[in-house]
Amino acid sequence: MQSFNPPVRTLMGPGPSDVHPRILSAMARPTIGHLDPEFVRMMDEVKQLLKYAFQTENEMTMPVSAPGSAGMETAFVNLVEPGDKVIVCINGVFGMRMKENVERCGGVAVLVEDDWGMAVSPEKVEAALQANPDAKIVAFVHAETSTGACSDVKTLCEIAHKHDCLTIVDSVTGLAGVELRVDEWGVDAIYSGTQKCLSCTPGLSPISFNERALHKVRNRKTKVQSWFLDLNLVMGYWGQGAKRTYHHTAPVNGLYALHESLVMLKEEGLENSWARHAAMHEKLKAGLTELGIKFVVDEAVRLPQLNSVWIPEGVDDAAVRAELLNTYNLEIGAGLGALAGKVWRIGLMGFSAKEENVLFCTSALKKVLGK
Amino acid sequence: MQSFNPPVRTLMGPGPSDVHPRILSAMARPTIGHLDPEFVRMMDEVKQLLKYAFQTENEMTMPVSAPGSAGMETAFVNLVEPGDKVIVCINGVFGMRMKENVERCGGVAVLVEDDWGMAVSPEKVEAALQANPDAKIVAFVHAETSTGACSDVKTLCEIAHKHDCLTIVDSVTGLAGVELRVDEWGVDAIYSGTQKCLSCTPGLSPISFNERALHKVRNRKTKVQSWFLDLNLVMGYWGQGAKRTYHHTAPVNGLYALHESLVMLKEEGLENSWARHAAMHEKLKAGLTELGIKFVVDEAVRLPQLNSVWIPEGVDDAAVRAELLNTYNLEIGAGLGALAGKVWRIGLMGFSAKEENVLFCTSALKKVLGK
């Protein structure tokens, strides 16, 4: 067996996105101990920078030492107790995964379903809460990676709070790519991923919990079923101050990478990052429209960073993606679940959201489609 | 905020150990998609190489996308069902964590306790199994990172099997540092970490389950409580063959690093790696003995890669470790739990297990202790 030298791809799928060379370099810096004072200082900076990215003052803002799916699980295992009723909004793959999480915590999931490609309907959520006055949590996806639909976090949180529910928000694909204001919008618990609009390497999941959510975590009747994800324990390691309690060995080099990606976000400015994603989407839209390619999601609720488009009639899905990959080293995403074989997902996330990529992608598609 | 440039340390604590530059370089290679055919090919190589490291033919041999603690949780959530009785051997911190895991899965933990620094007593395990004929699993730590004691995996597995129990073995610190033969010794489920004797970056947990263990996983009455760690789902992604089902986004660059570290292990040869750890321990022992420093663990069950030594009387634990770190950039480990403040833990793991480090560590200690 030999060392693995990956091909150099352009990543325009649903994530991972292209990782900036600065971030890759940061990742290769010498490993130090996870309790080293210098490492602890860096952890504090990561927390500060994540607060900025999430637009929150939540003290419990940190990266879970595992991918976004574990961030999702962190939210559910800490906040759902056996018997708790949870309104779960499903408009794509990740809402379905939320339902799985609720049930594995012994909770009762009440489903609010919207078609794939639509945003979550606030009216349906309101109706579900009226029909289920004992519901304790409303869970929904901000930015559905499987479809590219963006839901109205602020409105959904208002409705949930009116009915005295906590909110769990999935913004794996949203963070840094589209407007997100955790405190102003009243999000109680949120999780994201590093490999999307932060253009960092995959493997970590930034989360943020406000005091209302932590109150529930601290006052559970039962222990959190996961030892690894129990925030009562994780807080002892990621908490403020010199006294840190060993919990698990942090993924040191992965955190170097996240730190660097957040420094770059700060340098660019969060609003500028949102604006860049929006601008690149406009350029991509223009290019694809010229090729006669149509978008799945209505413009009003379309995520700029995740573009689901209908595969033109008569075109072989897998053959086109394979040719893009093999001839041009260009990755675009396949459809997931209900949309498998019907759509492509073209990502414009983080470092991938630049005009070079838009031009390259549209011209490569043009060639491969024989237009 | 600025980029983080870590100090260059020599890591001789309980892990992470020094990471070889080849592995750091591998980690910084360009990220590709987690469903890219080239990445899938690399995953297959990682599985092959892990089989070699574990000395197993188990098809279910793969790295969990999270640190060793999550590897532990993978073993317990998949194998323990509510009401299952589990014999948990405790001779240090990690046995205690196993008990937490059993209980959070709704299992009943029957404790077999040995003093910290001792190996697990086969006689006590035999007695516990005779007293608990309904026990289904025996769980123990091969290489206790908190003390440096090595338990007899082969004998403990034989006893467990005689009583028709499955075995769960923690070899986070053992893998590649000391003899371990998963198939020959009859281990049913095992987990490890990347940041110890593989001298890879922290963040992943290699595991291996045999068919007997998987039979239990496949025939559970209840769903695995963790979605992220449910092997019934994870197998769909890491399984053999072209048809992979998306589960979560793999930590692509972390896996590059693991691949490289395993290629290096193959190049050195597993037995040679075990022998190197043993030889370096002998050299360290000679150096420490000259300084009048004594070992906690009896020679017969002492791990060569994790050396717990008594802090000499009248010596300030924290002050010495701080001076080693600040003056010499040398990290050694503090005591954990019952041994906090009483011992140091000097690691000789992976790339750290070399004569340069032994000489450096003993001479730095000599200076700081004023000998």
B2-19 pLDDT, tens digit each: 999 999 999 999 999 999
Report the pLDDT averaged over residues A146-157.
98
Residue partners of A45: CB distance under 8 A and separation at least 6: A259, B1, B4
Domain B21-266 grouped into CATH 3.40.1160.10 = no
Residue B100 to chain A, least CA–CA distance (Å): 7
Q: How many CB atoms lie within 10 A of CB B282?
A: 11
3-state secondary structure of B103: helix
From chain B, pick out residues whose CB is under 8 angstroms from the CB of A257: 253
CB contact under 8 A, B249 and A29: no
CA gap A19, B28 in Å, rounded: 10
Question: How much is the pLDDT for B76?
Answer: 98
Residue of A nearest to B16 (CA): A33
Residue B252 touches chain A, beta carbons under 8 Å: yes
pLDDT-derived band at A242, boundaries 50, 70, 90: low
| Mean pLDDT (chain B, rounded) | 97
Asked if A259 has any chain B CB less than 8 Å from its own CB, the reply is: yes
Q: How would residue A254 be classed by pLDDT, with cut points 50, 70 and 90? A: very high
Which pLDDT tens digit goes with each residue over A76-115? 999 999 999 999 999 999 999 999 999 999 999 999 999 9
Interface subset of B 138-177, CB within 8 angstroms of A:
none
SS (H, E, C) chain A: CCCCCCCCCEEECCCCCCCCHHHHHHHCCCCCCCCCHHHHHHHHHHHHHHHHHHCCCCCEEEEECCCHHHHHHHHHHHHCCCCCEEEEEECCHHHHHHHHHHHHCCCEEEEEECCCCCCCCHHHHHHHHHHCCCEEEEEEECECCCCCEECCHHHHHHHHHHCCCEEEEECCCCCCCCCCCCCCCCCCEEECCCCCCCCCCCCCEEEEECHHHHHHHHCCCCCCCCCCCCHHHHHHHHCCCCCCCCCCCCCHHHHHHHHHHHHHHHHHCHHHHHHHHHHHHHHHHHHHHHCCCCECCCHHHECCCEEEEECCCCCCHHHHHHHHHHHHCEEEEECCHHHCCCEEEEECCHHHCCHHHHHHHHHHHHHHCCC
Rounded to whole angstroms, how far apart are CA atoms A40 and B4?
Answer: 12
Considering only CB atoms, B8 lies closest to which of A4, A30, A69, namely A30
**Half-sphere exposure in the Cβ direction for B307 (13 Å, CA):** 30
Contact A4 B203 (CB under 8 A): no
The reported pLDDT for the residue numbered A214 is 97
Q: How confident is the model at residue B211 (pLDDT cuts 50, 70, 90)?
A: very high
Q: Which ranges constitute the DSSP H helices of chain B?
A: 21-27, 37-54, 68-79, 93-104, 122-131, 153-162, 182-185, 211-218, 231-238, 252-268, 270-290, 317-328, 355-369
Instruction: Please check whether residue B161 is in contact with residue B144, taking contact to mean a CB–CB distance below 8 angstroms.
Output: no
- What local confidence, expressed as pLDDT, does residue A1 receive? 86
Interface membership of A233 toward B (CB under 8 Å) = no
Across A157-171, average pLDDT: 98
Q: Which chain A residues are closer than 8 Å to B247 by Cβ?
A: 69
Number of helical (H) and strand (E) elements in chain B, helices listed first: 13, 11
Tell me the percentage of chain B whose pLDDT exceeds 70: 99
Average pLDDT over residues B100-116: 98
In which band, very low, low, confident or very high, does the pLDDT at A277 lie, cut at 50, 70 and 90?
A: very high
Over residues A55-59, mean pLDDT? 97
Does residue B111 belong to the interface with chain A, where contact is any CB pair within 8 Å? Answer: no
What is the bridge-based pairing of β-strands B137-141 and B108-113?
unpaired
**Quick check: A201 and B253 CB within 8 A?**
yes
- B interface mutation test: which of A228, A244, A246 has the most B CBs within 10 A? A228
Contact A31 B260 (CB under 8 A): no
Which tokens sit at A129?
Answer: 């809460």
Mean pLDDT value of segment A294-322: 98
Q: For residue B241, is pLDDT > 70? A: no
Q: For the residues A281-308, what does the mean pLDDT come to?
A: 98
Are A9 and A325 contacting, i.e. CB atoms less than 8 angstroms apart?
Answer: yes
A369 interfacial to chain B (CB closer than 8 Å): no
The predicted pLDDT at position A246 comes to 84
Q: Which of residues 73-92 of B touch A (CB under 8 A)?
A: 73, 77
Q: Chain A residue with minimal CA distance to B195?
A: A249
pLDDT at B246: 84
Q: Answer whether A16 sits within 8 Å of B8, measured CB to CB.
A: no
Q: How far is A9 from chain B (nearest CA, A)?
A: 6
Give pLDDT, residue B16.
97
CB contact under 8 A, A65 and B251: no
DSSP at B248? S
Long-range contacts of B310-315 (CB under 8 A, 24+ apart): B310/B342, B310/B343, B311/B341, B311/B342, B311/B343, B311/B344, B312/B369, B315/B369
pLDDT at A245: 80
By Cβ distance, the residue of B1, B31, B248 closest to A16 is: B31
Q: Which residue type sits at A138? A: V
Give me the pLDDT at residue B240, please. 61
Sign of the dihedral defined by the CA atoms of residues B244, B248, B251, B252, in that order: positive
Average predicted confidence (pLDDT) for chain A:
97
B320 interfacial to chain A (CB closer than 8 Å): no
> Considering only CB atoms, which chain B residues are within 8 Å of A101?
227
Q: Which residue of A32, A224, A256 is the best one to mutate when testing the B interface, meaning the one whose CB has the most B CBs within 10 A?
A: A32
Q: Do B249 and A202 touch (CB under 8 A)?
A: yes
A:B CB pairs within 8 Å: 256
Q: What is the CATH number of domain A10-16+271-368?
A: 3.90.1150.10
B104 is in an annotated binding site: no
The answer for residues whose C-beta is within 8 angstroms of residue B15's C-beta and 6 or more apart is: A249, B145, B173, B193, B195, B196, B202, B347, B349
The shortest CB-CB distance from A263 to any of B2, B6, B70 is to B2
Nearest beta carbon to residue B9 from set A27, A36, A227 = A36
Across B249-278, average pLDDT: 98
Q: What is the pLDDT of residue A239?
A: 79
In whole angstroms, give the CA distance from residue A167 to residue A140. 8
- What is the reported pLDDT for A240? 61
Q: Using a CB-CB distance cutoff of 8 angstroms, which residues of chain B are in contact with residue A73? A: 226-228
B89's tokens: 């051997």
Cβ atoms of B172 and B196 within 8 Å: the answer is yes
Cα separation, A146 vs A98, whole angstroms: 14
Residues B273-292: tens digit of each pLDDT: 999 999 999 999 999 999 99
Provide the residue ranges of all domains of chain A, joining segments of one domain with +.
10-16+271-368, 21-266
Distance of alpha carbon B65 from alpha carbon B43, whole angstroms: 12
- Rounded to whole angstroms, how far apart are CA atoms B344 and B288? 12
Predicted confidence at residue A253, as pLDDT, reads 98
| CATH classification for the domain delimited by B10-16+270-369, as one of 3.30.379.10, 2.60.40.3140, 3.90.1150.10, 2.40.10.10 | 3.90.1150.10
- For strands A85-90 and A108-113, give the pairing: parallel
User: Chain A within 8 Å of B227 (Cβ-Cβ)?
Assistant: yes
Test mutation, A248, A255, A261, chain B, max B CBs within 10 A: A248
Nearest-Å Rg of the Cα atoms of chain B is 21
With 80 as the cut, is the pLDDT of residue B244 above it? no
Asked whether the predicted pLDDT for residue A244 surpasses 80, the reply is no
Chain B: nearest CA to A258, how far in angstroms? 10
Q: What is the pLDDT of residue A241?
A: 55
Nearest chain B residue (CA) to A82: B225
Q: Which residue has the tokens 């913004």?
A: A171
Does the distance separating the beta carbons of B3 and A260 come in below 8 Å?
Answer: yes
